[in-house]
Structure 1
Amino acid sequence: MVPSSLLRRPERGLMRAPRTVALALVCALALTSCQGAAVSGDAPAADGPVRIGVIVPLTGPVSQVGTALRNGLELAVEKVNAEGGVGGRPVEYVVVDDAGDPANSTQLARRLIRQEKVTLLFGTITGDTAEAVGKVADEAEVPFGTAILGDTEHCFPYQWGFGESTRQMLAPAVPALVAKYGKRVAVVGSDYNYPRFYAGIAEELVKEAGGTVVAREFSPLGQTDWQPVVKRIAAAKPDLVLSMTVGADAVTFTRQAQQFGLLTPELGYEGAPLDADFYPALAPLVEGRPHTVRWSDGAEDAESRAFTDAYRSAYDWKAPIPEVAGNAYFGVRFLLGAAAKAGSTDPKAVNEAIGAFRHDGPLGEGTRFHPSNHVLQADMRTVTIGAGGTYEVTTTHPKVADETPKKGCS
């Protein structure tokens, strides 16, 4: 991990990026001399650097995932700058900590746009913070990319998701899991908008696979006592549990599900707790299980191997690399490729270019965003979690489509 000594203490929610990527920003929110400076329009300089405002929870219950996202972005920017930048322009970024609070996310997004003059926004983890930043991005007409799995219930014209959508995660997984484990399915999640959206899609796909959702349970972020939830799920006698418990809750729920007799080798188990982020804490409980992801450090293509090697070297990383780090790395490279096509740092021009951009890479041949929902049409992988933290790719699902129309985009 990056030593804390390389980070400036955040003031008013902002900290400087810790790596040695060029960061010659004109006015830093963390500097007292800039407080109260006049804002002379939201647009960045037409001939200036490409600036990315990165909004992630570096503190709070999902900080582990936020840190992984930031790490992936840092390496992407470093790589692009080493290759000459975007049309000869360097890429700069500013990292802000929203602590997973939508009110913070809103305020910080506005500051990044108005004071830092960013070309792009990137980040957030939970669905409610993504929704908050999406609204600000639309109002200011500044593109906003996300890397975390899942999607919002409606589409923002300026928001683009590089994480796997709910349908892309569940469409390859649910039929196989129902066939293997049985038709009685329970869904459990952290209690905010995205896990509830996930549960709705899961119920639809379970029904199509001939199964039935026999329990739905949600608990607030930061829950420490899952015993009552575990007992209610167990009473429904499921064959399979789909879990969208996130952050520290993913670990706590899984451990208590095993402790109180719900999670056994015979029970099917899939969802966020199987992500690489949580392997070090849950190794014995997830090994041997299949898991569907967009990217894995078990991918053997040359770009993935180069990224994996760079990540392990930069952060002295021995554990499995979190999927969100890969999504962020390849997502930022996609966005900056679109910016290069636009030939401009104007956010409107970049946003238009993102919608038209096509890319061949580790996420698939001809990856692109669908215009009706801004979901990346990309490959998915089924991995098997092995001893020692290997996430071996066992099946590649080419171009798993999600063309579900959503309100807000054409």
Structure 2
Amino acid sequence: MGAFPQPAPQSLPTIRIGVIGPFSGPSADFGTPMLNGVKLAINEINSFGGYLGRPLELVIKDDKADPEVGLKMSQELIDAKVHAAIGFCNTGVAMKSIDVFQRHTTPLIVPCSTGTPVTAKYPPAESYIFRNSPRDAIQAPFMVDEIISRGWTKVAILADRTGYGEAGLQDVQKALAKKNIQPVHVGRFDLGVKDLTAELQESRRKGAQVIFSYTVGPENAVIANGRQAMNWKVPQVGAWPLSFPFFINGAKDAAEGALMAQSFIAEPSNERRAAFLTSYARTFNVPRIPVPMAAAQAYDATYLLAHAILSLPVEKVSGPQIKLALEQSKRPYYGVVTTYDNAFSASDKDALTANMLVVGVIWNGAVTFAYPEDAKRNIIVQRKKAAPAN
């Protein structure tokens, strides 16, 4: 009797992994790196023999960042009999679709969407929704701490009206309230807006020292370009979308100096990260990953899922058993973003904690570490910490 399951009879079906995200349309900026991260990991896993000699097969669905399309594509993944799935970049799409996976007891790992409600919709013990992207409930207070450390206490918040913007706004307001700070102005806007001058003027009139923006698309650049046109030299801070090409390329000089939360910055600070960056560049023939966090987290999500599946004997590869294996991992996975040691449990479906975050800054059109000490600290992999008691 060995420690590993015996080879599967050839009559058993291939292990099918669903992947869903915005691979076309306005959110492909980070949907495509997410998909490439999954593909890179799957190629490696299959080159090592897959599951007992059987390759892992991807079933890929494009949700186009549209909640209704996402719902339809999620059902198609279930109809395709995937054993588990990886996906979602947009919080609004995820919230419309995760019922499908929960109802069909199909584990889903979310490597991109950071909206706090995604892993809060179901009681943890019952939930089939896992995540290894930093939820906004840790990103927002992390950046609020950064703001306060720089002496900025007059904060204007500009957030879009999507599910992502709404959840992020609430997280920022809650984090500020814990510091006894009320925002001097809160502005809301729809996706696609081309001019936010009125909101920026109101923020300046009320004495804002910093703009905290919460949107996932080019509207971040609209804010930066608006500030520049007004010659208003206040900083712009936010969650990870400030690292997206939509912002960096759309705002150009106006993006310089923007600060954002990051779980992974594309610098070869250790051997694992260097190998990942080299392999990604070689495989997809690109000099730079457009959104490194999306790619790295998706790569790690794929390995976390594969390790759970590989721990199961053939007769137990089912949704409920994969869920249990994710919650009771018996060994750490040395990932790109972090070392995942007990990444999930029956009471906790979020793998990343605040100690894993660093402050990124736009410098010469790219994201790097805002502080040299963070670059040095990043050599030492930060492991998961229990959340402090309220």
Change (3 A) 1:150 1:236: farther
1:103 equivalenced with 2:94 (yes/no) = no
Counterpart in the other structure of 2:176: 206
Counterpart in the other structure of 1:372: 347
Provide the rounded CA distance (Å) in 2 between the counterparts of 1:168 and 1:46: 46
Change (3 A) 1:52 1:251: farther
Number of residue pairs the alignment of both structures matches = 358
Provide the rounded CA distance (Å) in 1 between the counterparts of 2:387 and 2:346: 9
Q: TM-score, length-normalised on structure 2?
A: 0.83
Change (3 A) 1:103 1:225: same
Counterpart in the other structure of 1:22: none
User: Is contact 1:297–1:308 with CA below 8 Å preserved after alignment?
Assistant: yes
> What amino acid is aligned across from residue 147 of structure 1 in structure 2?
P
Provide the rounded CA distance (Å) in 1 between the counterparts of 2:227 and 2:183: 18
> What amino acid is aligned across from residue 74 of structure 2 in structure 1?
A
Question: Shift of the alpha carbon at 1:399?
Answer: 4.2
Question: Shift of the alpha carbon at 1:400?
Answer: 6.0
TM-superposition CA deviations, 1:276-298 (whole Å, max 9, x none): 43433344333344432111212
Report matched runs for 1:195-274 at 5 Å. 195-262=165-232, 264=233, 266-274=234-242
SS of the residue aligned with 1:213? coil
Change (3 A) 1:230 1:290: closer
Change (3 A) 1:151 1:299: farther
User: Is contact 2:238–2:260 with CA below 8 Å preserved after alignment?
Assistant: yes
Provide the rounded CA distance (Å) in 1 between the counterparts of 2:386 and 2:252: 31
Structure having the higher strand fraction is 1
Counterpart in the other structure of 1:363: 337
Change (3 A) 1:260 1:371: farther
Question: Shift of the alpha carbon at 1:224?
Answer: 2.1
Counterpart in the other structure of 2:6: none
Instruction: Please tell me the root mean square deviation across aligned C-alpha atoms, in Å.
Output: 2.6
Question: Shift of the alpha carbon at 1:147?
Answer: 1.3
Question: Shift of the alpha carbon at 1:46?
Answer: 8.9
Match of 1:73 among 25, 34, 38: 38
Deviates more, 1:307-316 or 1:123-132: 307-316
TM-superposition CA deviations, 1:90-135 (whole Å, max 9, x none): 1111221221111111111111111x21111221221121112210
Question: Shift of the alpha carbon at 1:137?
Answer: 0.2
Question: Shift of the alpha carbon at 1:299?
Answer: 4.7
Provide the rounded CA distance (Å) in 2 between the counterparts of 1:377 and 1:125: 16
> What amino acid is aligned across from residue 310 of structure 1 in structure 2?
S
Match of 1:385 among 344, 349, 362: 362
Report matched runs for 1:318-337 at 5 Å. 318-322=287-291, 323-337=293-307
TM-superposition CA deviations, 1:40-61 (whole Å, max 9, x none): xxxxx99322212211122332
> What amino acid is aligned across from residue 224 of structure 1 in structure 2?
K
User: Is contact 2:235–2:258 with CA below 8 Å preserved after alignment?
Assistant: no
Counterpart in the other structure of 2:148: 178
Unaligned runs of 5+ in 1: 1-44, 406-410
Change (3 A) 1:285 1:87: farther
Provide the rounded CA distance (Å) in 2 between the counterparts of 1:194 and 1:79: 33
Counterpart in the other structure of 1:85: 50
Provide the rounded CA distance (Å) in 1 between the counterparts of 2:229 and 2:346: 46
Question: Shift of the alpha carbon at 1:247?
Answer: 2.1
Question: Shift of the alpha carbon at 1:181?
Answer: 4.0
TM-superposition CA deviations, 1:111-169 (whole Å, max 9, x none): 1111x211112212211211122100011110111111413422341111111111322
1:351 equivalenced with 2:335 (yes/no) = no
Provide the rounded CA distance (Å) in 2 between the counterparts of 1:288 and 1:208: 26
> What amino acid is aligned across from residue 385 of structure 1 in structure 2?
I
TM-superposition CA deviations, 1:364-398 (whole Å, max 9, x none): 33251253341114422333433252523535593
Q: TM-score, length-normalised on structure 1?
A: 0.79
Counterpart in the other structure of 2:88: 124
> What amino acid is aligned across from residue 96 of structure 2 in structure 1?
A
SS of the residue aligned with 1:212? coil
Unaligned runs of 5+ in 2: 1-9
1:64 equivalenced with 2:41 (yes/no) = no
Counterpart in the other structure of 1:281: 250
1:304 equivalenced with 2:273 (yes/no) = yes
Provide the rounded CA distance (Å) in 2 between the counterparts of 1:403 and 1:359: 21
User: Is contact 2:173–2:182 with CA below 8 Å preserved after alignment?
Assistant: yes
* Percent identity over paired residues: 19
User: Is contact 1:380–1:400 with CA below 8 Å preserved after alignment?
Assistant: no
SS of the residue aligned with 1:368? coil
Question: Shift of the alpha carbon at 1:183?
Answer: 0.6
1:135 equivalenced with 2:99 (yes/no) = yes
User: Is contact 2:29–2:244 with CA below 8 Å preserved after alignment?
Assistant: no
